[in-house]
Amino acid sequence: MLDIAFAKPVLPRSGALVLLVGEGELPTGLWEHANSATNGAISRAFDAAGFTGAKGKTCTILAPGAGLSRVVAVGLGKRDALTRRGLEEAGGHALAGLSRDGTASLAADGLSAEQAANVALGAVLRSYRFDRYRTKEKPEDKPKLTELAMLVDDNAAATAAFTPHEGVAKGVFLSRDLVSEPANILNPAEMARRCEALRELGIEVEVLGPGELQKLGFGALLGVSQGSVNEPRVVVMQWHGASGHGKKAKEKSLAFIGKGVTFDTGGISIKPAGGMEDMKWDMAGAGAVIGLMAALAGRKARADVVGLVGLVENMPSGTAQRPGDVVKSLSGQTIEVINTDAEGRLVLADVMWYCQQRFDPAFMVDLATLTGAIIIGLGHEHAGLFSNDDALANKLLAAGLDSGEKLWRMPLNDEYDKQIKSDIADMKNVGGRPGGSITAAQFLQRFVNGKPWAHLDIAGMAWSSKDAPTRPKGATAFGVRLLDRLVAEHHEG
């Protein structure tokens, strides 16, 4: 991960320099000093490029003089309209222009300590790279920048402000790593082992193996896994940030639950071959929950939180679940499995029931790459939000806007519920093509018991084919920062 160092605002004598420029502003501070030291090269370049500091616009000046290898100017837009998200994106734009530089400094003079920390977070998030399997990459193709010096008036306060952001960034990186891993490496057992590493952060981790799951009655989850030689796991992670370990909690825990299908062939209802390689990230919901727990512990969040992930592999074989099978879930409700490729909801049904029976949380939020239908409806701009609780839904919507991980609320009602009525069991696991993401949520709601609950269908958001300001293309870790904001804004004392 990119190292961030905060220092006093002194013009560097070498390396690259980033200038954050407000729209329509005149040169001040380090910008003015750098322009003077380069005999006006910066202002001339701005005029030639038509750079005015408009939000998201950049201007790069190569070898401007004064020992600088380049100057990268990033537009902030209007200063009075600056937001946390805008500052993070500015940091991301800056980092994108610095990958070939060995040393770089960013002029954050004029920003508050918290604003500078937000810029630094954006730069760190954009610096992510998953390259552990690249053995023949040329040195010139690798990014050279390992440390970014943030030049800010109150560097001590900025350092303190950045510390919790760094914990969140590590959680995001963990989630991206998990989602990026190939399925031959990251099977359910291996994913559970990586969860166990969170004990170093003070998180209690408990792994339930296949024998325990059988004894407890996880019939829906076990049905999904029975075609694979890779046996299932359920991992329970607890962070006692409010009550402390061994102390009685004053309030109920918050619960986050993730679908962790480490590879999804569709089972007997097998998927088409084209694009099936993408199904290594059908565990992105679980990856987000694991990253969230690491983020909360990393920044010492003052909240009691439990994270649960159901880890399975969905494979076709002689032992695989068949269309038409009936399974008995942990709740006692029976499910007719019409389509074995609608497996994530079977996993979540048992894990959600177990969560509320064991922990009785204040609310439950589940994340899952659940349906292709949500991509048809919302594309790759919003995740689908389904909830039985308006207050929880509104908090999530606001946290999504604040973090840039946007949600769009979708409907739930009894008319959709009729589509999953089974002729031979309590319900069936699919309701046909109409409203596919909605009927999937209706299915999950049958395992909620009236508990405040939200379901985030992140199928369109877990992976990106293009860069964004605070992330390169690939695994996005969608949900980590969203839910961290939810906890920080509403559930910390």
C-alpha–C-alpha distance, residues 162 and 344, integer Å: 37
- Are residues 245 and 205 in contact, defined by beta-carbon separation less than 8 angstroms? no
The secondary element (H helix, E strand) that includes residue 156 is: helix 155-180
C-alpha–C-alpha distance, residues 106 and 11, integer Å: 10
C-alpha–C-alpha distance, residues 166 and 161, integer Å: 9
Which residue in 271, 302, 328, 451 is the catalytic one? 271
- Are residues 42 and 5 in contact, defined by beta-carbon separation less than 8 angstroms? no
Cβ atoms within 10 Å of 53's Cβ, excluding its own:
21
C-alpha–C-alpha distance, residues 180 and 262, integer Å: 11
- Are residues 150 and 198 in contact, defined by beta-carbon separation less than 8 angstroms? no
- Are residues 479 and 285 in contact, defined by beta-carbon separation less than 8 angstroms? yes
Of the candidates 313, 312, 284, 297, the residue with the CA atom closest to the CA atom of residue 176: 284
C-alpha–C-alpha distance, residues 232 and 213, integer Å: 9
Which residue in 345, 395, 446, 471 is the catalytic one? 345
The secondary element (H helix, E strand) that includes residue 1 is: none
C-alpha–C-alpha distance, residues 5 and 121, integer Å: 12
Residue type, 143: P
| Residue 110 Cα to chain centre, angstroms | 31
345 catalytic? Reply is yes
- Are residues 270 and 316 in contact, defined by beta-carbon separation less than 8 angstroms? yes
Q: What is the dihedral of CA 218, 221, 225, 231, to 10 degrees?
A: -50
Residue type, 69: S
Cα torsion angle, 368, 374, 379, 381, sign:
negative
Instruction: Report phi then psi at 8, rounded to 5.
Output: -65, 150
- Are residues 317 and 228 in contact, defined by beta-carbon separation less than 8 angstroms? yes
Residue whose pair of structure tokens reads 């990856």 in the numeric block: 287
132 catalytic? Reply is no
Half-sphere exposure of residue 297, counting CA atoms within 13 Å on the CB side? 27
Strand 68-77 to strand 104-107: parallel, antiparallel, or no bridges (unpaired)? unpaired
C-alpha–C-alpha distance, residues 458 and 344, integer Å: 12
Residue spans of beta strands (DSSP E) within 120-197: 147-151
Catalytic residues: 271, 345
